[in-house]
Structure 1
Amino acid sequence: MKITSIDIFRVKWNRQYGAWHPIVVRINTDEGISGFGEAGIFYGSGFEATIGSLKDLGKRLIGQDPTRIEAIWQQFYQGTFWGKSGGATFYAAVSALDIALWDIKGKSLNVPVYELLGGATRTRIRSYASQLQFGWEDETRYLIQPEEYAETAKKAIDQGYTAVKVDPFMVDRQGHLGRRLLGMMSQADLQLNYDRIKAIRDAVGPDVDIILECHAGLDVNTAIQFVQKVAPLNIYYMEEAFSPMNPGLATKIKEKTAIPQASGERIVTRFGFQPYLAARSLDVIQPDVAICGGISEAKKICDMAATYEIACQLHVCGTPIATAAALQVEAVLPNALIHEHHEISLKAGNRWIGKYPDEVDNGDFVIPDRPGIGQELSQAAIEASVCETIE
């Protein structure tokens, strides 16, 4: 079997987020088997750079055997020069191609990818309702008042979820999105953000797990102040309290709290995670299969974490392709903690992208047993996308 062409789809997105540009690849072979993968850099800035990397790396694959996945990954790492220092935009391209290669191999053997990774340790996984500051429904809302956070959390719990995640800092008191802290937070803002978390705890009761999201928007001083303030609310773990560019900051926060610390969505490859693992400065790592280096690298990262008794919660914020790839890895990992069900997955503008609907049962994700990653672009999404083909 040989790779004959690679299609790069800029998937049509016509809903709330203007800066949302899903990137999906399809690797085609001479035996008629195609595999799908996703590049996770399609929000924020950088998606054009990732498309450029896909074009460059894709040319290397033409004529190669798609089942030699590790050999191809090593070509990207050893043979591109920048593979040994490339950041998220480069490794998002690597990830998309790697996921598609695993999809091809699973389909060619008529087995789900998890069978090729060692076999399933579970058939379903508990999930949490993620990013409640945007509501939990088809239309996005920017929540301001603590009562709105409480109502939204209660809605998710009523659907069967036993855990929720919220960034209380993302929407300011005027309803503006994306505020980032420069310097320490005022006491008034600290109190408002605490009140939002407290309202959720009061609404859902003591048994629901609350994940505190920060999106790397705090400085270390504010993170320490806030983590001590919310400690009585029994936080499950605190995510991205600081910029991942400086691994030493995680230790500073861990010294001040018993609340577990998590990070990883912007960290790429096992080499990027190694300082955190060696120092055990994180309690939960969150690699994104569509950013960190693909299925191949996510499995290695999570296995390394297991040697330090560190849990894994794969970051998932993308199309149904990214969700499917994450579920294949989570199916295998003994240290997989919980699955992220991002509110973007609720949107009709996202659901139509996948050929198959997600299977969510009372807050648990059912892991698909279809061959490959178990998901493809829908025909409607393919027809509506802008496609560039590498031959």
Structure 2
Amino acid sequence: MLITNIEGFNLSSPLERPFGWSNGWISARVVGLLKIETDEGITGWGEGYVGARGDFVKQLFGDLLIGADPLNRNALWQGMFDRVYNGNNAGGFGGSAISAVDIALWDIAGKAAGQSVSDLLGGRIRDKVAVYATGLYYTEGEFPTRLLDEATMYVELGFKGMKTKIGAAHP
């Protein structure tokens, strides 16, 4: 099996009401998705930075990945890391691009083996995991009343923990 194509997609959905967090204010939810195709018709999907036009991963790693065996994940990961590490780009955009590829390669491996990725990684060790509520973003003109109402709602729903945003000046 060989990698034949890499394609990135940027998805964006405007928010009805912008919100703030410790890094500022946002008016849309944005995510980058990466699609890696193989000559056997198996497609893997990953999430991470794909660039403004969706071609960042292909530009950065295309010559390393296209034509390579997608099941040779360790060698491919090391090659990608070596490429961005020397340029001090292993964190940020470079690291996020590696993550997108890595996720897509694991997706391909699981599909090729007919197994879940958790089984490929050694199997599940539990049937349930604890979850917490993520929210409590700042919104214009609602500080702190709406945040208190939202936190109360999470408690009433049974969450044992919450992740809140701190550090930014509220409006």
Same fold (TM over 0.5): yes
SS of 2:163's partner is strand
SS of 2:59's partner is helix
Distance 1:93 1:133 in 2: 27
The one-character-per-residue Cα deviations of 1:7-59 (angstroms, maximum 9, x if unpaired) are: 211224233444543210110111111010011x58xxxx5398524432133
Aligned 1:196-345 pairs, distance under 5 A:
none
Aligned 1:29-108 pairs, distance under 5 A:
29-39=38-48, 41=49, 47-48=51-52, 51-78=55-82, 80=83, 82-84=84-86, 85-86=88-89, 87-108=91-112
Aligned 1:181-196 pairs, distance under 5 A:
none
SS of 2:132's partner is strand
Query: Structure 1 residues 168, 22: closer, same or farther in 2, change over 3 A?
Result: closer
Unaligned runs of 5+ in 2: 17-25
Q: Tell whether the 8 Å contact from 1:54 to 1:93 is kept in structure 2 after alignment.
A: no
Percent identity among equivalent residues? 31
Aligned to 1:126: 130
Distance 1:24 1:119 in 2: 26
Q: Tell whether the 8 Å contact from 1:3 to 1:66 is kept in structure 2 after alignment.
A: yes
The one-character-per-residue Cα deviations of 1:108-158 (angstroms, maximum 9, x if unpaired) are: 111111111121111221111123134xxxxxx44412x432211111122
The one-character-per-residue Cα deviations of 1:205-227 (angstroms, maximum 9, x if unpaired) are: xxxxxxxxxxxxxxxxxxxxxxx
Counterpart amino acid of 1:83? Y
Distance 1:21 1:64 in 2: 30
Aligned to 2:156: 158
Query: Structure 1 residues 165, 21: closer, same or farther in 2, change over 3 A?
Result: closer
1:23 aligns with 2:13: no
Which structure shows the higher helix fraction? Answer: 1
Distance 1:53 1:8 in 2: 7
Distance 1:102 1:67 in 2: 8
Distance 2:111 2:13 in 1: 28
SS of 2:13's partner is coil
Distance 1:14 1:133 in 2: 16
Out of 100, 109, 113, the residue aligned to residue 117 of structure 2 is 113
Distance 1:164 1:5 in 2: 40
Q: More displaced, 51-60 or 94-103?
A: 51-60
Counterpart amino acid of 1:33? I
SS of 1:11's partner is strand
Aligned to 1:11: 11
Distance 2:103 2:56 in 1: 18
| Structure 1 residue 171, shift from structure 2 partner | 4.6
Q: Tell whether the 8 Å contact from 1:35 to 1:103 is kept in structure 2 after alignment.
A: yes
Aligned to 2:22: none
SS of 1:127's partner is coil
Q: How many residues align?
A: 159
Distance 1:165 1:131 in 2: 7
